[in-house]
Amino acid sequence: MFFANGFGDADNIVYIYDKAIITCKHVATLSEKRDKAEFLGHFTVKTEAYLSEYDCNDVSIYTFSKGRYFVYLLEPLVFHIEKIDEDTYA
């Protein structure tokens, strides 16, 4: 799946975190900023999924665990991917 940032091919910053285990002060601050972000969509991982480094080069740079994720765009090139829970049937 793809989530548009309005800039096409460009370097992006992606923050991925589990809402249930936010312990780092930096990540908590990002979570607060996320409230001002644009909701782009969501996805559910039932078995396995990964984040690829580039859409034309299928190289995994992050593996998602089972669960539901929400995707937000905070700034034009800053994505937040937040794991909401481990429910795969919602």
Query: What token pair was written down for 83?
Result: 């794991």
Tens-place pLDDT, residues 27-71: 556 666 667 788 899 999 999 899 988 777 788 899 999 999 999
Query: What token pair was written down for 7?
Result: 């800039």
Q: How far apart are the first and last CA of the chain?
A: 19
Query: What token pair was written down for 25?
Result: 């002060």
Grade residue 13 by pLDDT with cuts at 50, 70 and 90. confident
The whole-angstrom separation of Cα 30 and Cα 47 is 28
Query: Domain boundaries in the chain?
Result: 13-85
Strands 67-75 and 78-85: antiparallel
Q: Is the entire prediction scored with pTM above 0.85?
A: no
